[in-house]
Structure formats: structure tokens, C-alpha cells
Chain A
């Protein structure tokens, strides 16, 4: 059974850093592109970042470009999101999501349960 389990969330001060992880199981992780999506409290979904199956290409929404880095370790079936220079507006539930394919024009077909990041002094 496919599972995506996020971890690493918590409370961090403005300007601080945090590294989120997403452990994948139940599918061949190395064959699929992956995404990070976030949801601020009471708000809608915001797509953040994408990484191809082999880690060869990464893409970001402008609001996190230069501050967040998506990466993956296919040997450990794990997706990461390194977040730096955190701001109050980064407070959100962060979801790891699996793409249907390895290519860019694929849709998200599975989601984790999310990990909460709170940026506050």
C-alpha cells in the first residue's frame, strides 16, 4: 500500500531554517516525480516545488525560489524540502505528493498527511 509520511515540521523563528522529509513506501519511488504543496491555516492549496524522478530538474513557485530547495534520495526512498530564511507567511501544513509519472506534465495522484510548520518569534 502506497504511503507518504512527512516529518520535520515544528516551530521556528523568523529567519530560521527547517528540513522536511517525506518517507515513501509501497511504490517504486525512483520512477516517479514528486512535489511539495502547502496549505496555510484556513487557506487553499499552494503548489511549491517539483523534482523529476532522477533529481535532474527542480522547479519552484516564485514565493519560495532561492529560499527552499527540493531534493531526493532514491536509495532511501525519501524526499526533502530544505527551507531557509523562513517568514511568518510560510506557516502552513506542508504536503508531500507523488506524481503519476516521471515526466513534467503529470498530475498528483497521492498525498501524504502533511507536517505543520509554524514560523513565529
Chain B
């Protein structure tokens, strides 16, 4: 069981470029969550997706950020026109059922985004 796979592990982008972060959930998990963690801070919720559906994007900035979880392939978190303030660790987590069913999250290793 490969666990939650995130890639790349590290990503460096210049200001104004686009960043694409990928997440493949654990086998059998259909719920995907993205969190952002700034240095020395906690985890901030961004978006919750199921296959082909965005369930809750209340934590996503209104501009430049988007997420998808297509029928085939990994979930993608896309950040357009990155700025220095986007530098953070982005974690993806998955669960087999909704979190309200009592399952803990399984987190991926994260993508550390650095904007230069």
C-alpha cells in the first residue's frame, strides 16, 4: 500500500510562474484534502474534494488558486502567478470516507514550495 503520494517533494518557482502540485490518494480513498503550512505554524485547510467534485473550498484564496480531482489521475493544486507569500509546505491528505465517519487523515509527505 503506497500511501498518499505527493510530488514534487520540493518545488522552486520564480515570482509570476505557475506551480502545480500533485497528490495521489491511498488506494481505496476517495476523499482528498489540501492543507497549507507556513514555517513554524499550524495546518490551514484549503480545499476538500471527491472525484470530479469540489466539496468545500472555503479555505482557498479567491484568486490564483484552484484545485481539481479528476475521474482519472491525481488531484492537482494549481497556483498561478506565484508570489513570495505562497512559499509554504502544501500537504495533501486522504481518507476512505468523509472525516465525519471517524477516520483519521493519511497525509502525504508534502510539497515544499519556495518562491524566489
To the question of whether A and B form a pair in one complex, the answer is no
B residues in contact (CB < 8 Å) with A: none
